[in-house]
Amino acid sequence: MWSFFARDPIKDFNYELLPENQEKSGIWTLSRGKRKTTSEPVSVFVYEVSQGTEEQTQLAKAALKRTKTLRHPNILSYVDGLETEKSLYIVTEPVTPLAAHLKLQAEKGGASDLEVSWGLHQIVKALSFLVNDCHLNHNNLGMWAVFVDRAGEWKLGGLDHVTSDQGDSISLPPPKVINPDLERYDPPESPGNGGEKWTGDVWRLGCLIWEVFNGNLPRASSLRSLGKIPKQLVPHYCELVGANPKIRPNPARFLLNCKSPGGFMNNSFVESCLFLEEIQIKEPAEKQQFFQDLSENLDSFPEDFCKHKVLPQLLTAFEFGNAGAVVLTPLFKVGKYLSAEEYQQKIIPVIVKMFSSTDRAMRIRLLQQMEQFIRYLNEAAVNSQIFPHVVHGFTDTNPAIREQTVKSMLLLAPKLNEANLNQELMRHFARLQARDDQGPIRCNTTVCLGKIAPYLNAGMRQRVLISAFSRATKDPFPASRAAGVLGFAATHQYYSVAESASRILPTLCTLTMDPDKNVRDQAFKAIKSFLSKLETVSEDPSKLAEIEKEVTASAQTGGSAATWAGWAVTGVSSLTSKLIRNVPAGLEAPPAENSSALQPAAGPVTTNTANKGVQQDKSYVSFQRLRPLEVTFVRCVHHHGCLIKKTFTIMKLFILVFAVRENRKYISNNHAFTPSGLSKAELAKKKREERRKELEAKRAERKAAKGPLKLGARKLD
């Protein structure tokens, strides 16, 4: 009757076993499992009492006891356990048998010596803990007793045969009694015949090392053949499998030997792993130096180790250790190994928090490396949490931060909303292009505007682009003028035929006699491009609608700006802070503040002429200020629907004459050259210097004539 009310303990077990990927591990069956409440992955070792012998059941109970009581970072971590009349369960951290792990690594090209060196370091350290601290003998060390966790770290398990070197009240059968195949791993001497308490375990450690590099050990005599064991490890390996048990080293001594200069475990990976294990007790200066050096070493570290061991430490160091910007470079390197979901969950919250920091070093590194994480940022986070902090960089006193802030807009623009892109960003661009005292930053602003043009709405493009690029063509910095010309060429599809003829070509023609040859070359190319466009419409007016189809096109949602403007990539990448420092004197003056760059143009703006009934009169009225030949050209386009080739030839001739006249005016107005052969800036500087010398000479003469002042006298000059 009471059995009716008894509960099955298996039903109360908080873990669920997954049927796939079950593996045999000694007397145990290793299964993957998960916690029922949180779905957290675990490994479950199951022993069925009905399928084992009395001796095996005794070993299973001993293993459950040892796994539960022995706690060490390099010993398999115990999570939970259950013992019933039918079976025993040991729940541990999720692991994979070493043999299966090495097989998987072999398919990828083989495990690296760095990974193996750290794995062996962990197993020897666990063995040293058992022997020297707990006074225990493992008695079962081998490939079957080593497991690998998600980070690729090796853990010592197989605690079935652990005994005390001081004698146990219960004697356990040796491994070869349970599995006769394990006899080849026994040391040559008989038990208790000379040697120290660890001699048997270090012999089996030598067998483990042989199998890691050479595969399954066929017989004990094979240990004499070194095979693929690395040369740095050979002398220490030979000590482990020496015939004389008295010369076999203590595990702690073996560890020191391998970490000596030139040893197998003396490398950057082992040193980094040891530092991470003790990072909580390290000084802040040591942590800073470690994270700076870590970035260079990460490329040689195993991927799983970076994801599950290094990444948590980096996040903790930023969150609680005040590590600052130094963690960014290694953090983004590790981020390459994460899936999109993992990146969104682990790294994006940290990045959002970093942007709110006032640390300039962190801000500039975030901007420089934005390309690595921008695709994981959603539009809501960019507009509400990141952009409001980024825009402060436009007004920063440090030129490098202003420059990086401008460059970052190439990546942020596709994710900005209407208000941030077309209003807030354009306001900052207008101020930078008109007032910034650094020529390269003004140039970069022009370049960036050209690249983000597809994301602006049609109305903003009409008001901004021509004004901005025209303003750039009058900049005292040559690269800015070149950027303005190239901006016109790269965004040609957004201008109507009328705008090209009346506003853009006259602006470009003034640059055909620019003092800088690169600007002149770019201007001639752009003029030819726009003339070709006009000539196409002249030959076939029916193509007007097709040519102007993108003038009023809707803003793009992202993805195209990085492909069509090779000039922008070159401009942005070449104009760095180094260029800011090397700008020649006289070219750093900011443009006049009363300019109207990026400000909405006054008066009606010509748009697509497809709807002739509505657009016709406005186009005509807006061109009343043009010269007769230009008016004729516009009237022909809009009223007659065709152009006479002779009229267009006259138009070309007019443009050339206009270019020469305007260039003379441009050169005269800007005083690019003077009769003395000096530029206006050089001439003004020379006059100021002469005036200063005259004033100093006069002061010296007056002082010499008066002599020293007497007490109480008043100085008149």
Does one domain contain both 61 and 102?
A: no
Please list, residue by residue across 643-656, b when 16 or more beta carbons sit within 10 angstroms of its beta carbon and e when fewer do. Answer: beeeebeebeeebe
Q: Which residue has tokens 């700008």? A: 583
| Structural domain that includes position 84 | 15-94
Mean per-residue pLDDT, 653-664: 42
Examine the domain organization and report whether 67 and 112 are in the same domain: no
Q: Which helix (H) or strand (E) holds 97?
A: strand 95-97
Q: Residue 456 pLDDT more than 60? A: yes
Q: Is residue 246 part of a domain?
A: yes
Global pTM reads: 0.67
pLDDT in tens, 61-101: 999 999 999 999 999 999 999 988 888 999 999 999 999 99
In what helix (H) or strand (E) does residue 24 lie, and over which residues does it extend?
strand 23-25
Question: Backbone phi, then psi, for 94, in 5-degree steps?
Answer: -65, 125
Distances (CA, A) of 608 to 536, 612, 647: 17, 9, 23
In this structure, what CATH number is given to the domain that contains residue 52? 3.30.200.20
Domain count, the chain: 2
The answer to whether residue 605 scores a pLDDT higher than 80 is no
Question: Inter-axis angle of helices 628-635 and 645-670, to 10 degrees?
Answer: 140
Render pLDDT for 663-700 as a digit per residue (tens, 0 to 9): 444 434 443 444 455 566 777 888 888 888 888 888 87
Question: For 311-359, what is each residue's pLDDT tens digit?
Answer: 988 888 877 766 677 888 888 889 888 888 888 888 888 888 888 888 8
Mean of the pLDDT values across residues 498-509?
92
In-domain check, residue 224? yes
Side chain identity at residue 156, one-letter code: L
Model confidence at 657, in pLDDT bands (50, 70, 90)?
very low
Q: Do 127 and 158 fall into the same domain? A: yes
pLDDT at 378: 87
112 with 206, same domain: the answer is yes
Say yes or no: 242 and 108 in one domain: yes
Res 679: pLDDT? 65
What's the mean pLDDT in 281-308?
86
Do the domain assignments include residue 610?
Answer: no
Q: Among residues 49, 75, 94, which one ends one of the domains? A: 94
Average pLDDT over residues 305-311: 90
Residue 294 lies in a domain: no
190-208 pLDDT per residue, tens: 766 667 788 889 999 999 9
How much is the pLDDT for 390?
92
Give the residue from 60, 94, 128 where a domain finishes.
Answer: 94
Same domain, 50 and 193: no
Query: Contact at 8 Å (CB) between 143 and 112?
Result: no
Q: Given this model, what pLDDT does residue 440 score?
A: 92
- Rounded-to-integer distance, Cα 549 and Cα 537, Å: 13
Residue type, 131: V
Does 2 map to a domain?
no
Better pLDDT: 152 or 706 = 152
The answer as to whether 116 is a domain residue is: yes
Does one domain contain both 110 and 197?
yes
Name which of 55-69, 121-135, 287-301 the model is least confident about: 287-301
d(CA 627, CA 645) in angstroms, rounded, equals 19
pLDDT at 317: 80
Rounded-to-integer distance, Cα 103 and Cα 647, Å: 80
Residue predicted with more confidence, 9 or 464: 464
Q: Measured between alpha carbons, how far is 597 from 551 in angstroms, rounded to an integer?
A: 20
Q: What is the mean pLDDT of the chain?
A: 78
CATH of the domain at 223: 1.10.510.10
Query: Mean of the pLDDT values across residues 612-641?
Result: 32
- 230 and 89 share a domain? no
pLDDT of 625 strictly over 60: no
Cα 214 to its chain centre, rounded Å, is 39
Judgement on whether residues 137 and 85 belong to the same structural domain of the protein: no
Closest residue by Cα to residue 154 from 127, 128, 130, 118: 118
Residue % of the chain over a pLDDT of 70: 77
pLDDT bin (cut points 50, 70, 90) of residue 660 is very low
pLDDT of amino acid 598: 41
Q: Look at residue 485 and tell me if it is in a domain.
A: no
> Are the C-beta atoms of residues 466 and 446 closer than 8 Å to each other?
no
Whether residue 141 is found in the same domain as residue 201: yes
Residue at a domain's end among 79, 94, 109: 94
Burial of 524 (0-12, 13-18, 19+ CB in 10 A): middle
- Residue 346 inside a domain? The answer is no
Q: Do 90 and 102 have their domain in common? A: no
Would you state the pLDDT for residue 670? 43
Q: Which residue has the higher pLDDT, 114 or 681?
A: 114
- 559 Cα distance to chain centroid: 19
The amino acid that residue 225 corresponds to is S
Contact of 402 with 436, CB cutoff 8 Å: yes
Q: Do 163 and 195 fall within a single domain?
A: yes
